[in-house]
């Protein structure tokens, strides 16, 4: 699935080549870290009529899980793939059903460092993610401010790669679900959160 919104915004946001590549439709594989037994897939679960989260299902792979895309561009100066996780969401209003290309974003709250990963139908805002060759997602080239002071850093572009996906019990709309989240800082405040890798593909 290609989108003119993704093509334009990725080129502007990353400074990368405007050529867009696409992986999918594919599953999002959720695997636990630290010898965890977590091994399943993301399934869209409705938070409301136009919004889904990435709920965890523990099952063997089958083609019904092939719902997601990773549309990306390549920064050839650093050999990094920048892109967005996308999903076609069908929204029914009355007797009409419309398919919306939609993008993953993180929703934060003022009293927690855990951000719900969710996809809103037709949104044009998305999290810029990177993916390794094996499909594992992370956020690349962040600025590490842990040692900043009045002396200006020598580099403007960050070089800190961050991987903070977690599987947490949290509210998805009015439903209590185990779903994917991102931690803005460590450790996660929600004690149910378990560190995971999120990967496109089986």
Q: What is the pLDDT of residues 157-170, one digit of tens each?
A: 788 899 999 999 99
Q: How far is CA 124 from the centre of its chain?
A: 14
Planar angle of CA 5, 134, 166, nearest 5 degrees: 75
- The mean pLDDT of 115-141, rounded to a whole number, is 94
**Distance, CA of 73 to CA of 85 (rounded, Å):** 12
Domain ranges, ordered by start, for the chain: 4-142+159-200
Residue 63 DSSP symbol: G
pLDDT higher than 50, residue 1: no
| Distances 119 to 43, 45, 84 between C-alpha atoms, Å | 12, 10, 11
- The mean pLDDT of 21-48, rounded to a whole number, is 95
Q: How high is the pLDDT of residue 95?
A: 87
């Amino acid at each position: 699935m290609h989108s003119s919104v993704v093509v334009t915004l990725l080129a502007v946001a990353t400074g990368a080549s405007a050529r867009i590549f696409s992986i999918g439709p594919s599953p999002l594989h959720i695997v636990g870290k630290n010898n965890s037994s977590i091994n399943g897939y993301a399934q869209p679960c409705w938070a409301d009529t136009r919004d889904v989260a990435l709920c965890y299902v523990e099952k063997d792979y089958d083609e019904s899980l092939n719902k997601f895309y990773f549309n990306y561009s390549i920064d050839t100066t650093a050999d990094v793939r920048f892109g967005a996780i996308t999903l076609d969401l069908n929204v029914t209003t009355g007797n009409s059903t419309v398919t919306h290309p939609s993008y993953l974003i993180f929703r934060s709250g003022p009293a927690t460092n855990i951000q719900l990963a969710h996809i809103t139908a037709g949104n044009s805002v998305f999290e810029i993610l990177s993916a390794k060759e094996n499909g594992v997602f992370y956020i690349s080239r962040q600025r590490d401010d842990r040692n900043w002071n009045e002396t200006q850093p020598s580099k403007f572009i960050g070089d800190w790669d961050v991987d903070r996906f977690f599987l947490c019990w949290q509210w998805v709309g009015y439903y209590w679900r185990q779903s994917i989240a991102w931690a803005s800082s460590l450790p996660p405040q929600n004690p149910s959160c378990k560190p995971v890798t999120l990967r496109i593909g089986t």
